Amino acid sequence: MPQKYGHLANQVDDAQSFTCLVCGANPTGWTWGDLHGEGMCIRCGTPYQLLQYEKDQDGVDQRLDAPPKLNIKESWLPVLKRYWEETEAFTGLATIMMSRDYPECVEGKRKFDEWLDEHPDVIPG
Ligand SMILES: [Zn+2]
């Protein structure tokens, strides 16, 4: 799948040697969504916050030196793992604004949603 904005998501220091929690790609590649600093695993489409900040004593945002942070609720992790094991399909779950810019995410979300319809028991309460 094509990477948005060149390959810049792969250049985030702390994301370069990260193992995806869903598909196990090591290291995984990244592509951006539209939310600042949010990238997706290029293999399975799981969203992570690659660029993270914390305010210093003056209230100015400072970049955190931190590994990618899962951008979905922890309770969905086993669901995404099972979906990956069964389908090996890209979900494209990052935040997007214009669907025309991310056809692979639209299709990934549609297929994932369809799968959830067939597996209502796995949806976290
Ligand atoms: Zn992955």
Give the model's pLDDT for residue 6: 56
pTM, whole model, 2 decimals? 0.89
Mean pLDDT by 10 residues, the chain (125 residues): 64 81 90 92 96 94 92 97 98 94 96 97 93
C-alpha 32 – ligand 1 centre gap (Å): 14
Q: Residue 84, SS3?
A: helix
Token pair 């250049």: residue: 11
Which residue, among 43, 38, 113, 111, has the nearest Cα to 71 in the 3D structure? 38
Give the model's pLDDT for residue 96: 95
Domain coordinates of the chain in residue numbers?
Answer: 8-119
Give the model's pLDDT for residue 114: 98
Ion ligand 1: residues, CB < 5 A? 20, 22-23, 25, 41, 43-44, 46
In whole angstroms, how far apart are CA 16 and each of 19, 65, 71, 72, 73? 9, 13, 17, 20, 23
Q: What are phi and psi of 54, to 5 degrees?
A: -145, 145
In whole angstroms, how far apart are CA 25 and each of 61, 64, 70, 122? 31, 24, 15, 23
C-alpha 86 – ligand 1 centre gap (Å): 14
C-alpha 33 – ligand 1 centre gap (Å): 15
Tokens at residue 5, please? 């904005």
C-alpha 92 – ligand 1 centre gap (Å): 10
